[in-house]
Chain A
Amino acid sequence: MTITELMPFSVLVPLIASLVCALLPGRFWPWAVTLVATITSAVIAAITLPAAAQVTLSYAFGNWPPPIGIEYRVDAANAFVALLVAGMAAVALPWAKKSVDREVPERQGAFYALFLLALSGLLGITLSGDAFNIFVFLEISSLATYGLIAHGSDRRALLASFRYLIMGTVGATFLLIGIGFLYVMTGTLNLADLAERLPEVRDTSTVRAALAFIIVGMGLKLAMLPLHLWLPNAYTYAPSFVTVFLAGTATKVALYVMLRFVFTVFAPDWSFVVLPLSTVLMILAVAGMFAGSWVAMFQPNIKRMLAYSSVAQVGYMVLGVSLVSIVGLTAAFLHLFNHALMKTALFMAVGTVIYQVGSGHLKDFRGLGRTMPWTLTAFALAGLSIIGVPLTAGFVSKWYLIQAALDQGQWFLVVLILITSLMAIVYIWRVIEAAWFQERPGNQPAAGEAPLALLIPTWVLVALNFYFGIDTRLTVGGATAAAEALLGGGMAP
């Protein structure tokens, strides 16, 4: 079996396992099956990345040759994102067992089946080379995600899920309209084929409308600033494990789809000229960085604070894209990877506190630094990464972002990046201040250190944050290859 034949199984294994999982009773077996399926998927994604970085892999489903049949087409860009998604899921699952047992006590078979569906949907989006297939996988992952969010114990989880369903469906339908326009103009749905045929017809208002629809649709799923309204509530009220998983994967995949269309399908020398895309994205990104960080500084609920911080971090990624250079795109991909690392670690630490204390409010963090030193130290160290302190992963991506801005002489962006990093210090410091510098009120129950099953995965991620802050060969190499795959004249044959 060659790597090309193996590659589709990173989508198929979770898809098939979800069926098995839905039928399994009890609390242990659904989790165990999910763990095995996810790790298998991550291993396949890890094998695919080095191969895809050298030559574009193409797998035709059912042996129907593309562009007629559906094709999985994997180059450095999708392999990088797929490894991130599957890897994050595999790291989060060992942590999930205890947290899910507490927060979703019943019908775990269905819960883990939804998780596997969401995972295979996200992986399908990244690997597929067919525009309509991307839409279908997007809806598979979105529908599963709505179900996962609704599992939250607070009744507001239902409202958050419903509002996300409305906005998410509108976003996905916008993508469908865009794909429809492209199909009408070119008669093909294959991404590589679209990229070949579009230049002949691209000076029409239909194709321009298609670009606009796809950007707005994906901007919704990506939580780009004015379209981010679904994200804070969804992250806050979803079960902790779902938040951990979504924070590291869902928005990243949406960003990837947007990049794939803007850079590969419509060539960047067209899409950034015909619409003032660079300016619009830059303004929205900077506004997102500021608004997200600003609102995060005043949130009493730490999960919601981190959710707003995610809006700000999406801003950094979009800012890298808006610079339209290899370094800028590298910074975007780097931050995509590094933000998944640090936000997953932070949400795990908060989830661990919720597991021990039962609440994620700032007032319940008071004095925890003494009784739960390992958990809160993990939070503080991952917080350093989100601030961008040297030797952490967050520093590396911000460094590349600043370089990309300086390359284009946009020094004011550097100032803005530094100011928003200072705002990150403020909102991370609030938690540290409450945990270490305030006494635990006598009327609140004393909480001991969390079980090792929660601590070890959290610390693994914290360690990864520092590892990728020092040894940047995998991340910078992968991100550069991904950026070159997107900017280097479309998909290589």
Chain B
Amino acid sequence: MMTVLSFFNYWIVVVLMMIGFYCVIARGNMVKKVMGLNLFQTSVFILFISAGKIVGGSTPIVREGVELYSNPLPHVLILTAIVVGVATTAVGLALTVRINEAYGSIEDDHLGDEDDGDEQ
């Protein structure tokens, strides 16, 4: 039981990742797809952050009387990855707005079917 609990963050990562991935695949609504994508990315962020934590480690600021620090590098990486995620969300939502203007709907399932087909 304790081992299961001690991996609590990683269980959350797996659960969030699957929820997000399911949303991306199963939902036709584009806003929901973008939300699923966000959830999926966030789970990866938690994975990185969890890996940087050292049990008993202090905040990574050099000061007297502290020997053990948490690893700051994953935080820095994820700061960049969050920016990338925000940019992706922005582009995705902007495209959704444009698609809504062009088609009058954001349900992905049957959009484009009525355009004269050059798909085989």
Q: Once the chains are docked, how many angstroms separate the CA of A133 from the CA of B7?
A: 29
A159-B24 CB under 8 A given contacts A136-B80, A166-B33, A176-B81: no
Contact with B along A180-195 (1 / 0, CB 8 A): 1001100001000000
Min CB–CB distance B55 → chain A (angstroms): 15
The reply to whether B41 and A295 form a contact with Cβ atoms under 8 Å apart is no
What is the size, in residues, of chain B's interface with A at 8 Å between Cβ atoms?
33
Min CB–CB distance A301 → chain B (angstroms): 4
Contact with B along A147-183 (1 / 0, CB 8 A): 1001000111011011101100110010011001001
The reply to whether B84 and A180 form a contact with Cβ atoms under 8 Å apart is no
Min CB–CB distance A217 → chain B (angstroms): 11
The reply to whether B77 and A132 form a contact with Cβ atoms under 8 Å apart is yes
Q: Once the chains are docked, how many angstroms separate the CA of A136 from the CA of B87?
A: 12
- Tell me, yes or no, whether A73 is within 8 Å of chain B by CB: no
The reply to whether B30 and A162 form a contact with Cβ atoms under 8 Å apart is yes
Q: Once the chains are docked, how many angstroms separate the CA of A156 from the CA of B92?
A: 15
A361-B118 CB under 8 A given contacts A166-B33, A170-B24, A180-B51: yes
The reply to whether A170 and B37 form a contact with Cβ atoms under 8 Å apart is yes
Min CB–CB distance B5 → chain A (angstroms): 20
The reply to whether B37 and A169 form a contact with Cβ atoms under 8 Å apart is yes
**Residues of chain B with a CB closer than 8 A to A467's CB:** none
Contact with A along B81-120 (1 / 0, CB 8 A): 1001001100110011011001100001001100100111
Q: Once the chains are docked, how many angstroms separate the CA of A190 from the CA of B118?
A: 46
The reply to whether A298 and B120 form a contact with Cβ atoms under 8 Å apart is yes
- Tell me, yes or no, whether A356 is within 8 Å of chain B by CB: no
The reply to whether A304 and B119 form a contact with Cβ atoms under 8 Å apart is yes
The reply to whether A165 and B91 form a contact with Cβ atoms under 8 Å apart is yes
Closest A residue by C-beta to B40:
A173
Closest A residue by C-beta to B84:
A139
The reply to whether B81 and A166 form a contact with Cβ atoms under 8 Å apart is no
Contact with B along A90-134 (1 / 0, CB 8 A): 000000000000000000000000000000000000000000100
Selected contact of A173 from candidates B44, B95, B119, CB within 8 Å: B44
Q: Once the chains are docked, how many angstroms separate the CA of A460 from the CA of B120?
A: 33
Contact with A along B21-33 (1 / 0, CB 8 A): 1001000001001
The reply to whether A158 and B37 form a contact with Cβ atoms under 8 Å apart is no
**Residues of chain A with a CB closer than 8 A to B47's CB:** 177, 180
The reply to whether B112 and A159 form a contact with Cβ atoms under 8 Å apart is yes
**Residues of chain B with a CB closer than 8 A to A161's CB:** 95
The reply to whether B91 and A147 form a contact with Cβ atoms under 8 Å apart is yes
The reply to whether B91 and A143 form a contact with Cβ atoms under 8 Å apart is yes
The reply to whether B118 and A300 form a contact with Cβ atoms under 8 Å apart is yes
Min CB–CB distance A183 → chain B (angstroms): 7
The reply to whether A299 and B118 form a contact with Cβ atoms under 8 Å apart is yes
- Tell me, yes or no, whether B69 is within 8 Å of chain A by CB: no
Q: Once the chains are docked, how many angstroms separate the CA of A295 from the CA of B48?
A: 42
Q: Is the interface of A mostly helix, strand, loop or mixed?
A: helix
Q: Once the chains are docked, how many angstroms separate the CA of A487 from the CA of B40?
A: 35
A304-B40 CB under 8 A given contacts A139-B84, A158-B99, A159-B112: no
A146-B99 CB under 8 A given contacts A166-B24, A180-B48: no
**Residues of chain A with a CB closer than 8 A to B81's CB:** 135, 176
The reply to whether B30 and A143 form a contact with Cβ atoms under 8 Å apart is no
Closest B residue by C-beta to A155:
B102
The reply to whether B99 and A159 form a contact with Cβ atoms under 8 Å apart is yes
A180-B44 CB under 8 A given contacts A139-B88, A161-B95, A170-B37: yes
Closest B residue by C-beta to A142:
B88
**Residues of chain B with a CB closer than 8 A to A304's CB:** 118-119
Q: Once the chains are docked, how many angstroms separate the CA of A166 from the CA of B37?
A: 7
Q: Once the chains are docked, how many angstroms separate the CA of A176 from the CA of B82?
A: 12
Q: Once the chains are docked, how many angstroms separate the CA of A32 from the CA of B119?
A: 37
Contact with B along A290-325 (1 / 0, CB 8 A): 000001001111001000000000000000000000
The A-contacting residues of B in range 1-21, CB under 8 angstroms, are: 21
The reply to whether A183 and B51 form a contact with Cβ atoms under 8 Å apart is yes
Q: Once the chains are docked, how many angstroms separate the CA of A176 from the CA of B96?
A: 25
Closest B residue by C-beta to A177:
B44
The reply to whether A143 and B112 form a contact with Cβ atoms under 8 Å apart is no
**Residues of chain A with a CB closer than 8 A to B74's CB:** 183
Min CB–CB distance B74 → chain A (angstroms): 8
**Residues of chain B with a CB closer than 8 A to A173's CB:** 40-41, 44
Q: Once the chains are docked, how many angstroms separate the CA of A44 from the CA of B51?
A: 39
Min CB–CB distance A40 → chain B (angstroms): 27
A156-B80 CB under 8 A given contacts A170-B37, A304-B119: no
A295-B120 CB under 8 A given contacts A162-B30, A162-B92: yes
Closest B residue by C-beta to A136:
B80
In the complex, besides A159-B111, A166-B92, 13 extra interface pairs with C-beta distance below 8 angstroms are A135-B84, A143-B87, A143-B91, A146-B95, A147-B91, A155-B103, A156-B115, A162-B96, A165-B91, A166-B24, A169-B41, A169-B88, A170-B37
The 4 lowest CB-CB distance pairs between A and B, nearest first, are A301-B118, A155-B102, A139-B84, A162-B95
Question: Would you mind naming 21 contact pairs between A and B with Cβ atoms under 8 Å apart?
Answer: A136-B80, A143-B87, A143-B88, A146-B91, A154-B115, A155-B99, A158-B95, A158-B98, A162-B95, A169-B41, A180-B48, A180-B51, A183-B48, A183-B74, A236-B118, A295-B120, A299-B118, A299-B120, A301-B118, A304-B118, A361-B118
Binding site for A on B (CB under 8 A): 21, 24, 30, 33, 37, 40-41, 44, 47-48, 51, 74, 77, 80-81, 84, 87-88, 91-92, 95-96, 98-99, 102-103, 108, 111-112, 115, 118-120
